[in-house]
C-alpha cells in the first residue's frame, strides 16, 4: 500500500457480539494461528508452481545433444541462445509482474501463469523449427518469472515473525531441489530410443522428456485453484469477513481446535486502499519510489560501496553458476563421443578439453571429415546416461552444500572466509579444467565451479540483508535478481560464442573473471547504519 493512500485511509473493524475483544492487526492475527498442517499443505501446493520456473530454465540444457538435428543446433552459439532465452524473458518481464501484483491476487496470477506455461511447454515438445522454439521458450519465461518471485512472498504471508526465518530457509531448500529433477529425468529418458506417435507427430525421447518436464506446470495449475487468497491481501481489499474466516480455518487446522475458539474476534481493516486509485497512477507512483530508491543506492556515498559489492558478486556468481551448470551436460556428451583411437594415432599426448570439444575429433564426425560442407553437417551424438547421472550428482551437491553453508555463515568473518574460499576454488577450477587431460578430472573441476558459485550466490543474498538498510532492501533485492538473470544471459551467450571461436578463452576467461571477484570479496562492506532522521527522510520520500 502506498503511503500517500495510507494517510487518507480510515480504520474500520469487524464488529462482533463480544465487545470485550479488541480488534487485532494482521501480525497479531496471523501469529495466533500458529504453525501446523495448513502451512505444510500450503507449501506442498505452491511447490510445483515454483519448480516450474526451474524446469523451464533447465530442461533446454539437457536436450541440446538429442535435439541437435531436429532443431538445427549446428553451432554452440545457437545452443547458447536457446539456453539463455528464458532468462531474457524473465529479465524483460520483471517490471510487469512488479506493477500488476497489487491489483490482481497472487492466486489469480498463479492460475494464469501456470495455465500459459502448461500450454507453452506442451507446444514446445512438438515444435520443429529453431526460431519458433526460441519464441515459445521466451513466452514461457514470461509466464514463470512472476510466480517464482511471488511464491516465497505469498507463503511468508501465512507465517508469523516467529516462524518466518526457519520456514524461509527450508522452503528455499525445497525450491532448490527442482534443479536435481531435470537431470535425473534426463538420465532415465534421453538415452532411450523412444518413438511414439501423438496426433500424427513422431515424439522421440527429447520431445517426451519435454512433455514430462511440463508436469510441474500442469500440477501447479491444479493446485493453484485450491490455494486460498492471502489474508493480508483480503484485508487490503476490504474483504475483512473473508480474512477472518480464513484465519479461523488456519487456526483450526494447525491447532485441531474448533474454529469458534479462535481468540481474535475483530480485525483492523483499511477501508480505502491503493486499489481504489487508478491503476496507471498507482503504478507510476510505485515506479517513482523504485527509481528514487535505486538512485539512492547508486549515487549516495553511504550506500554505493555496499550495493556495488553485492551487485558485482551477484553478477559473477550467477554468471558462473548458470553458465557451467547448463553447459556441463552437453559438453560432456561431446567428450564421451571423442575419437580417442584416432587421436592416439596422430598425437603422443593427452588432449585438452578444447581439443576434445572440437567436432572434427569426435566419432560421429569421422565419416563426414572429407565432405566439403562439413560445417553444415548435423551430428548425431551417442547419449551416455552416465553424463546425466553425473549432472544429477552435481546438482544434488550444489543444493546440499549451499544449504549446509547457510548454517555455518552466521558471522561476517565466516561469510567472508567462505566467500573467498568459494571464489578461489572457482577460479582455480576454471583455469585447470582445460589442462586436466582426463574426463573425470574435468568433471570434478566443473562440478567445483557449480557448487562454489552457488554457495557464493547464497552468501551475496545474506550480505545484502546485512548491509542494506530495511527501507531500501526490497529495491536492492529486486535489482539483484535482475542482475543475476543478466549474468546468466551474458554468461551463456559469451561462453557459447567463445566455444565456437576461441575455446580456451571460454574457460580461462571464467578463471580470470572469478579472480576479479575474489579480489573484490577481500573488501567486505560494513553495514550501512543511517541515523533515524535519514531513514525517516527515505520513508517520507515514498509518500
| Residue-wise pLDDT tens digits, 461-509 | 999 988 888 888 888 888 999 999 999 999 999 999 999 999 999 999 9
CA distance linking residue 298 with residue 280, whole number of Å: 27
Strands 201-204 and 195-198: antiparallel
Residue 196, beta-bridge partner list: 203
What pLDDT was estimated at residue 57?
93
Given its phi and psi angles, is residue 419 left (phi above 0), alpha (psi -120 to 50 degrees) or beta? alpha
Within 8 A by CB and 6+ apart from 112, the residues are none
CA distance linking residue 202 with residue 190, whole number of Å: 15
pLDDT at 417 over 90: yes
274-312 pLDDT tens trace: 444 555 666 677 778 888 888 888 888 888 889 999 999
Q: What are the angstrom distances between the C-alpha of 250 and each of 15, 255, 439?
A: 21, 8, 53
pLDDT at 10 over 70: no
Within 8 A by CB and 6+ apart from 218, the residues are 114, 118
The pTM score is: 0.87
Pick from 51, 70, 207, 180: nearest CA to 129? 70
Percent of the chain clearing pLDDT 90 (strictly above): 49
> What's the mean pLDDT in 339-344?
84
CA distance linking residue 46 with residue 107, whole number of Å: 10
DSSP string computed for 79-121: HHHHHHHHHHHHHHTHHHHHHHTTTS-HHHHHHHHHHHHHHHH
First-to-last CA distance in the chain? 10
Instruction: Give the three-state DSSP class for 197.
Output: strand
Residue 267, beta-bridge partner list: 24
CB 302 within 8 A of CB 53: no
Grid cell listed for 203: 515424439
Q: How confident is the model at residue 235 (pLDDT cuts 50, 70, 90)?
A: confident
Amino acid at each position: 500500500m502506498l503511503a500517500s493512500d495510507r494517510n487518507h485511509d480510515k480504520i474500520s473493524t469487524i464488529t462482533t457480539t463480544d465487545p470485550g475483544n479488541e480488534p487485532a492487526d494482521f501480525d497479531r492475527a496471523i501469529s495466533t494461528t500458529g504453525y501446523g498442517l495448513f502451512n505444510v499443505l500450503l507449501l506442498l501446493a505452491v511447490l510445483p508452481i515454483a519448480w516450474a520456473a526451474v524446469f523451464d530454465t533447465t530442461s533446454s540444457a539437457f536436450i541440446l545433444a538429442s535435439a541437435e538435428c531436429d532443431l538445427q543446433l549446428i553451432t554452440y552459439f545457437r545452443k547458447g541462445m536457446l539456453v539463455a532465452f528464458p532468462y531474457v524473458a524473465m529479465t524483460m518481464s520483471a517490471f510487469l509482474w512488479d506493477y500488476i501484483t497489487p491489483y490482481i491476487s497472487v492466486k489469480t496470477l498463479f492460475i494464469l501463469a501456470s495455465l500459459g506455461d502448461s500450454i507453452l511447454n506442451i507446444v514446445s515438445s512438438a515444435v520443429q523449427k529453431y526460431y519458433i522454439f526460441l519464441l515459445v521458450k521466451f513466452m514461457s519465461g514470461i509466464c514463470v518469472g512472476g510466480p517464482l518471485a511471488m511464491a516465497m512472498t505469498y507463503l511468508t504471508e501465512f507465517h508469523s515473525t516467529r516462524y518466518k526465518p526457519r520456514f524461509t530457509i527450508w522452503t528455499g531448500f525445497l525450491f532448490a531441489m527442482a534443479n536435481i529433477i531435470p537431470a535425473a529425468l534426463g538420465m532415465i529418458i534421453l538415452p532411450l530410443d523412444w518413438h511414439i506417435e501423438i496426433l500424427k507427430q513422431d515424439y522421440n525421447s527429447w520431445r517426451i522428456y519435454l512433455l514430462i518436464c511440463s508436469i510441474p506446470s500442469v500440477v501447479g495449475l491444479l493446485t493453484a485453484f485450491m490455494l486460498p487468497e492471502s489474508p493480508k491481501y483480503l484485508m487490503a481489499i476490504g474483504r475483512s469477513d473473508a480474512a477472518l474466516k480464513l484465519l479461523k480455518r488456519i487456526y483450526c487446522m494447525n491447532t485441531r481446535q474448533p474454529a469458534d475458539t479462535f481468540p481474535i474476534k475483530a480485525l483492523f481493516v483499511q477501508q480505502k486502499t491503493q486499489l481504489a486509485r487508478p491503476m496507471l497512477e498507482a503504478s507510476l507512483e510505485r515506479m517513482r519510489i523504485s527509481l528514487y530508491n535505486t538512485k539512492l543506492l547508486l549515487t549516495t556515498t553511504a550506500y554505493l560501496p555496499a550495493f556495488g559489492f553485492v551487485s558485482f558478486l551477484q553478477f559473477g556468481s550467477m554468471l558462473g553458476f548458470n553458465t557451467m551448470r547448463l553447459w556441463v551436460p552437453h559438453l560432456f556428451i561431446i567428450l564421451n563421443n571423442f575419437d580417442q583411437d584416432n587421436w592416439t594415432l596422430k598425437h603422443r599426448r593427452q588432449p585438452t578439453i578444447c581439443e576434445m570439444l572440437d567436432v572434427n575429433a569426435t566419432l560421429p564426425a569421422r565419416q563426414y571429415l572429407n565432405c566439403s560442407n562439413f560445417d553444415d553437417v548435423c551430428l548425431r551424438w551417442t547419449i551416455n546416461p552416465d553424463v546425466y547421472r553425473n549432472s544429477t550428482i552435481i546438482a544434488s551437491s550444489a543444493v546440499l552444500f549451499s544449504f549446509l553453508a547457510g548454517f555455518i555463515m552466521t558471522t561476517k568473518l565466516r561469510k567472508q572466509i567462505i566467500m573467498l574460499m568459494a571464489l578461489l576454488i572457482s577460479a582455480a577450477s576454471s583455469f585447470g579444467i582445460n589442462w586436466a587431460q582426463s574426463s573425470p578430472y574435468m568433471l570434478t573441476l566443473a562440478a567445483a565451479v557449480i557448487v562454489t558459485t552457488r554457495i557464493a550466490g547464497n552468501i551475496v543474498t545474506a550480505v545484502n540483508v546485512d548491509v542494506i538498510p530495511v527501507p531500501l532492501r526490497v529495491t536492492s533485492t529486486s535489482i539483484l535478481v535482475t542482475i543475476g538473470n543478466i549474468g546468466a544471459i551474458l554468461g551463456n551467450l559469451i561462453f557459447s560464442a567463445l566455444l565456437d571461436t576461441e575455446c580456451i578463452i571460454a574457460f580461462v576467461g571464467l578463471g580470470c573473471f572469478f579472480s576479479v571477484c575474489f579480489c573484490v570479496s577481500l573488501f567486505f562492506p560494513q553495514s550501512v547504519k543511517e541515523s533515524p532522521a535519514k531513514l525517516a527522510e527515505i520513508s517520507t520520500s515514498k509518500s
